[in-house]
């Protein structure tokens, strides 16, 4: 592991690297690339929603055989929302978020030379890369990519006769996701083993930064739930290609009865959501961990309620595995099950609320350093709260009846998961950019990026709740088939405008990010005056992280503005003073 | 409108490039006291703007929302919704305020130390126990409404209607005088027997197939849902009703219509909504619209998912019976 003496070629340093810091950058770049594609897709289908009969040269240029005179076909509309969801949830917010920051920070913050297995780590990235390539290839098959929603419920996803995208496009989707699951599992195993085994002297579990707790628990949720998605996908492959009937029964399509007998789509829904719900916490917890770190550092105060924060991460993780049925209240499953899931779902609001209160208390009487990372972290607390509160309606089975699968759901999950997690990712990039690239990002561009994004995000998703409450279902190619929805066109246009502004504003971030890698101001040793171990490594990072011995840890990471110290920060390696109580 | 938007985009791109030139300044890229002050004030301004957005949406978009419940069971739904939404609004108003106000008030100045406050058992207890108690109340209330809405065993003299979904339309089948739906399966689909009714079942003979859903006011209806091909979902928002249609099984949902179509057309909220809709339609040269209850497909089912239509008409019970008596039974339909 402490291989600082092996000879490095271009290939072993930049391509097939086993160094966690290089791998984290590979995840980040791939995640950003997929994110640009995902955002672009959302801009295309928002154009269709706002102006359904309008011809767009953008659509004409990009959608080829799937459009006619600049108006997209209903099939490709469904494909766009499907691939948008798949890319954003898995490729950007799981691999791009966890893959980047778990890899970067776990060894650095716990005091290890690298991950437990550099080789498996490298394999996990290249599997992710391969899975991304296959997903992108699926966009170009003749009948179109997978189009049954990112949730790909059968029979729609099993039968090419039901929708063209369920042919080759769906097959490639399944192959891509199977490889993605393998990548995630390898990554997660590495994170768990490294956190448990490779902490430096003095780094007790109760001295770990909350980022590490978040990544560690996220990885555990991942190994518990991703294999179930794999099983769901495998059974779907069997139904599609080998004539089995796990999910299919009594189907008449294209003028004849199919042979399937005895299966149920609800089985798929259970298997899918058994991953699907923990997945949203796999997306969110790392963002929350990053927020704890960024808010504490930039408030110059300890994160309030460190132990309660750990407790709530664990509680959220545990509860997340027993709430999946709240996605299925009106599937036709036994109403008693619905009651059980309502109970567990509303329980999960408690640890989430605790975290929200703790973040806000951390700000109270702090000395807030308004770096771009801090702005995004504050933004996350706001959107997490806004989005989480509407969960009280969706998680309550009775209330879900009239809002399930409407735009109310779309607004909810975008705020609580999409926007919050992407804010966490941005905060992480702005905060740890100096550690990744030895340079600083431009803060003025960071401010512009934040404010335009924040205004656009609420401009898109707050009005959207009302579209859902009005009764408009999601995944509708157009509202114009029902005159009852004619009065929603204005709101849809406003939403689209904010979405387009928000999408274009990300160019500010992209420009800042790539420019700063090469031309950013050189970073200092510890620009944010942070207590955690990663800032004790050299500015130009090295293989093996520390040139000499790995530092030993003497205290927890949150001694900011501790009475008795001249500076408002105390690195974790500083021994306790005579008579000082550990916090 | 579109031109304005293109201009906005152009301005944004231009300002992006302009800002990019700041890179050459190589300023200190860590927040200074001025930055903290400016950003803190922006946080306060954002809070004002955010509250303004929320208030604006609640005020302006009230008109697009659903009218009062058109089913008896839906009344309890609406009350539960009202209290839950009330709670949400109160919590949101308080917590967003504290967040943004603290972000403004405690914006960093040099030479001030933050208050070292790492823990408070008392506070943690308060904001663990309080949400727990409130949520326990919500759970109990919510489950009571859920049981009401999903348990049809107490319904008096319910009418059975099958709603049958396929790519991309709906059909319905009334249970006839015996109030028993005959067995059905896709294997029996043949010619005019489009729903696959098993005519060997004696209960099927008097079943009545229709392409229009008429419902009697004041009489409970138990819907039995089937699907021919893929997942669909029967969503009838005015009645606070939704249930997936699953190929391979029969699902059910029940409600008691409480307002006829005519009565709902006279509802003040609906009158205003329809007026607004017709104004929009007139501008586009489209013919005018009269309110009808909606049946929407609400589970992605293929290309025309957005356009599965079947009329729902709620009538007084005697008018409904008259209409039903005028329809043909399965036996009569198949004889033709």
Q: How far is B305 from B313, CA to CA, in rounded Å? A: 22
**Cβ partners under 8 Å of residue A22, min gap 6:** A13, A14
Helix boundaries (H) for A150-264 = 168-197, 210-241
Q: How far is A210 from B137, CA to CA, in rounded Å? A: 32
Contacts of A423 in chain B (CB under 8 A): none
B171 beta partners: B164
- State yes or no: pLDDT of A507 exceeds 60: yes
Number of folded domains that form chain A: 1
Q: How far is A298 from A307, CA to CA, in rounded Å? A: 20
Which of the residues B45, B71, B231, B273 would you substitute to probe the A interface, choosing the one with the greatest number of A C-beta atoms within 10 Å?
A: B231
Q: Hey, is A409 helix, strand or coil? A: helix
Q: Is B306's CB within 8 Å of A308's CB?
A: no
Q: How far is B188 from A578, CA to CA, in rounded Å? A: 87
Report the pLDDT value the prediction gives residue A578, as an integer from 0 to 100: 87
DSSP B150-207: H-GGG-SSPEEEEEEEETTEEEEEE-TTTT-PPPB-GGG-BTTBTT-B-TTSGGGTT-
What's the mean per-residue pLDDT of chain A? 95
Report the pLDDT value the prediction gives residue B5, as an integer from 0 to 100: 84
Q: Is B92's CB within 8 Å of A399's CB?
A: no
DSSP A285-353: HHHHHHHHHHHHHHHTSPPTTHHHHHHHHHHHHHHHTT-GGGG-TTTT--HHHHHHHHHHHHHTHHHHH
- State yes or no: pLDDT of A412 exceeds 70: yes
A285 beta partners: none
Contacts of A369 in chain B (CB under 8 A): 30-31, 36, 108
Q: How far is A121 from A147, CA to CA, in rounded Å? A: 32
- State yes or no: pLDDT of A211 exceeds 90: yes
Secondary structure letter of residue A516 according to DSSP: H
The mean per-residue pLDDT over the stretch B142-151 comes to: 95
Phi-psi region of A37 (alpha: psi -120 to 50; beta: other; left: phi over 0): alpha
Q: Is A445's CB within 8 Å of B19's CB?
A: yes
Query: How sure is the predictor about A1, in pLDDT bands with cuts at 50, 70 and 90?
Result: very low
Which of the residues A45, A396, A521 would you substitute to probe the B interface, choosing the one with the greatest number of B C-beta atoms within 10 Å?
A: A396
Shortest Cα–Cα distance, B211 to chain A (Å) = 18
The mean per-residue pLDDT over the stretch A193-219 comes to: 97
Report the pLDDT value the prediction gives residue B303, as an integer from 0 to 100: 96
Residues in chain A: 583
Q: Which residue has the tokens 């011995």?
A: A549
- State yes or no: pLDDT of B23 exceeds 70: no
Secondary structure letter of residue A367 according to DSSP: -
Report the pLDDT value the prediction gives residue A423, as an integer from 0 to 100: 98
Secondary structure letter of residue A440 according to DSSP: P
What's the mean per-residue pLDDT of chain B? 94
CA quadruple A454, A456, A458, A464: dihedral, nearest 10: -160
Query: How sure is the predictor about A2, in pLDDT bands with cuts at 50, 70 and 90?
Result: very low
| Segment B183-228, tens digit of pLDDT | 999 999 999 999 999 999 999 999 999 999 999 999 999 999 999 9
Q: How far is A561 from A567, CA to CA, in rounded Å? A: 7
Residues of chain A above pLDDT 70, percent? 99
The mean per-residue pLDDT over the stretch A291-316 comes to: 97
Strand B232-236 relative to strand B296-297, pairing:
antiparallel
Q: How far is A198 from A518, CA to CA, in rounded Å? A: 33
Nearest CA in chain A to B282: A486
Nearest CA in chain B to A469: B65
Q: pTM of the predicted model, to two decimals?
A: 0.94
Q: Hey, is A148 helix, strand or coil? A: coil
- State yes or no: pLDDT of B96 exceeds 90: yes
Report the pLDDT value the prediction gives residue A264, as an integer from 0 to 100: 96
DSSP B192-248: TBTT-B-TTSGGGTT-EEESSEEEETTS-EEEEEEESSS-EEEEEGGGTEEEEE-TT
Which among A410, A497, A389 is positioned nearest to A452, based on CA atoms? A497
Structure tokens at A499: 């979405």
| Segment A423-432, tens digit of pLDDT | 999 999 999 9
| Segment A36-50, tens digit of pLDDT | 999 999 999 999 999
Which among A457, A420, A435 is positioned nearest to A297, based on CA atoms? A435
Q: How far is B333 from A397, CA to CA, in rounded Å? A: 40
Helix boundaries (H) for A438-475 = 443-469
Of B108, B145, B300, the CB nearest to A148: B300
B210 beta partners: B172
Report the pLDDT value the prediction gives residue B251, as an integer from 0 to 100: 97
CATH code of the domain in which A116 resides: 1.20.210.10
Q: Which residue has the tokens 């904010």?
A: A498
Q: How far is A416 from A391, CA to CA, in rounded Å? A: 9
- State yes or no: pLDDT of B134 exceeds 50: yes
User: A-B interface: how many C-beta pairs under 8 angstroms?
Assistant: 413
Which among A136, A161, A170, A260 is positioned nearest to B303, based on CA atoms? A161
Query: How sure is the predictor about A434, in pLDDT bands with cuts at 50, 70 and 90?
Result: very high
Shortest Cα–Cα distance, B227 to chain A (Å) = 8
Structure tokens at A49: 């929603």
| Segment B66-81, tens digit of pLDDT | 999 999 999 999 999 9
Shortest Cα–Cα distance, A347 to chain B (Å) = 7
CA quadruple A484, A489, A491, A495: dihedral, nearest 10: 130
* B 255-284 residues with CB < 8 A to A: 273, 276-277, 280-281
- Phi and psi for A453 in degrees, rounded to 5? -60, -45
Report the pLDDT value the prediction gives residue A14, as an integer from 0 to 100: 79
Q: Is B92's CB within 8 Å of A389's CB?
A: yes
Q: At what angle do helices A100-110 and A168-197 cross, to 10 degrees?
A: 10
Q: Hey, is A569 helix, strand or coil? A: strand
CATH code for the part of the protein at B156-335: 2.60.40.420
Q: Which residue has the tokens 């998605």?
A: A229
Query: How sure is the predictor about A366, in pLDDT bands with cuts at 50, 70 and 90?
Result: very high
> How many Å separate Cα B97 from the centre of its chain?
29
Q: Is A78's CB within 8 Å of B100's CB?
A: no
Of B1, B40, B142, the CB nearest to A398: B142
Report the pLDDT value the prediction gives residue B24, as an integer from 0 to 100: 58
Burial environment of residue A64 by CB neighbours within 10 A (0 to 12, 13 to 18, 19 or more): exposed
Q: How far is A256 from B189, CA to CA, in rounded Å? A: 9
Q: How far is A426 from A97, CA to CA, in rounded Å? A: 9
Q: How many CA atoms lie within 13 A of B211 on its CB side?
A: 8
Shortest Cα–Cα distance, A235 to chain B (Å) = 17
Q: Is A486's CB within 8 Å of B289's CB?
A: yes
B51 touches A at CB < 8 Å: no
Q: Output the CA angle B12-B15-B17, nearest 5 degrees.
A: 110
Q: Which residue has the tokens 């208030």?
A: B55
- Tell which wins on pLDDT, A53 or A234: A234
Tell me if A43 sits within 8 A of A500, measured CB to CB. yes
Cis preceding linkage at A49, omega within 30:
no
- 3-state per-residue secondary structure call for A102-117: HHHHHHHHHCCCCCCC
Query: In A29-114, which ranges are E strands?
Result: 67-68, 71-72
Nearest CA in chain A to B18: A445
> Domain range holding A105?
19-536
Q: How far is A499 from B30, CA to CA, in rounded Å? A: 30
Q: Is B289's CB within 8 Å of A501's CB?
A: no
Report the pLDDT value the prediction gives residue A53, as an integer from 0 to 100: 86
Query: How sure is the predictor about B28, in pLDDT bands with cuts at 50, 70 and 90?
Result: low
Q: Is residue A471 part of a domain?
A: yes
The mean per-residue pLDDT over the stretch A53-76 comes to: 90
The mean per-residue pLDDT over the stretch A295-311 comes to: 97
Nearest CA in chain A to B38: A370
Which among A94, A92, A151, A76 is positioned nearest to A409, based on CA atoms? A151
DSSP B247-293: TTS-EEEEE-B-S-HHHHHT-HHHHHHHHHHHHHHHHTTPPP----B
Nearest CA in chain A to B283: A486
B253 beta partners: B223
Q: Report in angstroms the alpha-carbon separations of A524 from A101, A106, A512.
A: 21, 21, 19
- State yes or no: pLDDT of B25 exceeds 80: no
Secondary structure letter of residue A375 according to DSSP: H
CATH 2.60.40.420 domain span(s) along chain B? 156-335
The mean per-residue pLDDT over the stretch B138-165 comes to: 95
Tell me if B156 sits within 8 A of B291, measured CB to CB. no
- Tell which wins on pLDDT, A355 or A60: A355
Report the pLDDT value the prediction gives residue B21, as an integer from 0 to 100: 65
Shortest Cα–Cα distance, B160 to chain A (Å) = 17
Nearest CA in chain A to B281: A486
Assembly ipTM: 0.94
Cis preceding linkage at B168, omega within 30:
yes
Query: How sure is the predictor about A524, in pLDDT bands with cuts at 50, 70 and 90?
Result: very high
């Amino acid at each position: 592991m402490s291989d600082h003496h092996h000879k490095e070629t271009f290939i072993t340093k930049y391509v097939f690297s086993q160094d966690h810091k290089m791998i984290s950058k590979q995840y980040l770049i791939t995640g950003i690339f997929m994110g640009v594609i995902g955002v672009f897709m959302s801009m295309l289908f928002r154009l269709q929603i706002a102006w359904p009969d309008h011809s767009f040269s953008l659509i004409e240029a990009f959608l080829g055989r799937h459009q006619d005179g600049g108006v997209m076909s209903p099939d490709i509309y469904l494909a766009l929302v499907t691939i948008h969801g798949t890319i954003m949830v898995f490729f950007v917010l799981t691999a791009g978020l966890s893959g980047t920051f778990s890899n970067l920070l776990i060894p650095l913050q716990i005091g290890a030379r690298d991950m437990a297995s550099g080789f498996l780590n490298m394999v996990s990235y290249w599997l992710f890369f391969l899975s991304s390539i296959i997903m992108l290839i699926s966009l170009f098959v003749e009948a179109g990519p997978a189009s049954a929603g990112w949730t790909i419920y059968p029979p729609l996803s099993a039968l090419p006769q039901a929708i063209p995208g369920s042919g080759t496009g769906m097959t490639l989707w399944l192959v891509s996701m199977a490889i993605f699951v393998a990548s995630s599992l390898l990554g997660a195993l590495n994170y768990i083993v490294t956190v448990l085994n490779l902490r430096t002297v003095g780094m007790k579990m109760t001295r770990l930064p909350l980022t590490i707790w978040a990544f560690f628990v996220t990885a555990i949720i991942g190994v518990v739930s991703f294999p179930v998605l794999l099983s769901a996908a495998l059974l779907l492959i069997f139904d599609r290609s080998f004539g089995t009937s796990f999910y299919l029964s009594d189907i008449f399509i294209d003028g004849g009865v199919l042979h399937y007998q005895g299966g149920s789509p609800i089985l798929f829904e259970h298997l899918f959501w058994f991953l699907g719900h923990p997945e949203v916490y796999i997306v969110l917890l790392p963002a929350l961990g990053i927020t704890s770190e960024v808010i504490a550092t930039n408030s110059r105060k300890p994160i309030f309620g460190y132990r309660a924060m750990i407790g709530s991460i664990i509680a959220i993780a545990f509860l997340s595995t027993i709430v999946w049925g709240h996605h299925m209240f009106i599937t036709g499953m036994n109403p008693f099950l619905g009651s059980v899931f309502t109970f567990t779902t509303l329980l999960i609001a408690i640890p989430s609320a605790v975290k929200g209160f703790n973040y806000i208390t951390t700000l109270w009487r702090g000395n807030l350093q308004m770096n771009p990372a801090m702005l995004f972290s504050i933004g996350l607390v706001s959107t997490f709260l806004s989005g989480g509160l509407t969960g009280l309606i969706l998680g309550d089975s009775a209330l879900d009846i009239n809002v399930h699968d409407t735009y109310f759901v779309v607004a909810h999950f975008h705020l609580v998961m999409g926007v919050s997690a992407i804010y966490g990712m941005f905060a992480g990039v702005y905060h740890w950019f100096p550690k990744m690239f030895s340079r600083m990002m431009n803060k003025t561009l960071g401010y512009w990026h934040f404010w335009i994004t924040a205004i656009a995000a609420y401009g898109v998703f707050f009005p959207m709740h009302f579209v859902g409450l009005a009764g408009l279902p999601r995944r509708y190619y157009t509202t114009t088939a029902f005159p009852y929805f004619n009065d929603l066109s204005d709101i849809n246009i406003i939403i689209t405008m904010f979405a387009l502004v928000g999408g274009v504003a990300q160019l500010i971030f992209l420009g800042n990010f790539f420019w700063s890698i090469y031309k950013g101001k050189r970073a200092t040793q510890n620009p944010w005056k942070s207590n955690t171990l990663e800032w004790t490594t050299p500015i130009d990072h090295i293989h093996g992280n520390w040139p000499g011995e790995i530092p030993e840890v003497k205290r927890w990471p949150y001694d900011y503005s501790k009475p008795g110290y001249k500076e408002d920060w105390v690195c974790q390696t500083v021994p306790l003073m005579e008579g000082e109580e550990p916090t | 409108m579109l031109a304005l938007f293109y201009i906005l985009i152009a301005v944004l791109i231009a300002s992006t490039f302009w800002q990019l030139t700041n890179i050459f300044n190589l300023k200190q890229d860590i927040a200074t006291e001025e930055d903290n002050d400016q950003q803190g004030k922006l946080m306060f301004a954002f809070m004002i703007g955010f509250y303004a957005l929320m208030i604006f949406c609640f005020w302006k978009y009230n008109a697009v929302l659903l009218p009062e419940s058109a089913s008896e069971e839906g009344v309890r739904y609406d009350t539960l919704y009202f209290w839950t939404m009330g709670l949400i609004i109160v919590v949101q108003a308080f917590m967003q305020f504290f967040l943004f106000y603290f972000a403004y008030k405690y914006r960093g100045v040099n030479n001030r130390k933050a208050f070292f406050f790492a823990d408070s058992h008392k506070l943690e207890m308060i904001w663990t126990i309080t949400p727990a108690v409130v949520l326990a109340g919500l759970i109990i209330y919510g489950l009571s409404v859920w049981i009401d809405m999903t348990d049809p065993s107490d319904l008096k003299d319910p009418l059975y209607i099958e709603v049958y979904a396929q790519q991309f339309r709906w059909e319905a089948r009334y249970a006839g005088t015996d109030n028993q739906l005959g067995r059905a399966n896709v294997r029996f689909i043949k010619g005019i027997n489009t729903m696959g009714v098993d005519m060997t079942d004696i209960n099927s003979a008097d079943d009545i197939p229709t392409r229009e859903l008429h419902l009697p006011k004041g009489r409970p209806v138990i819907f039995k849902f089937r699907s021919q091909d893929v997942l669909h979902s029967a969503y009838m928002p005015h009645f606070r009703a939704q249930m997936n249609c699953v190929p391979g099984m029969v699902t059910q949902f029940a409600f008691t219509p409480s307002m006829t179509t005519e009565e709902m057309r006279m509802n003040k909220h609906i009158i205003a909504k329809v007026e607004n809709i017709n104004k929009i339609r007139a501008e586009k040269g489209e013919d005018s619209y009269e309110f009808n209850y909606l049946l929407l497909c609400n589970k992605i089912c293929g290309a025309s998912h957005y356009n599965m239509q079947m009329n729902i008409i709620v009538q007084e019970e005697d008018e409904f019976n008259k209409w039903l008596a005028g329809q043909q039974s399965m036996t009569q339909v198949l004889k033709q």
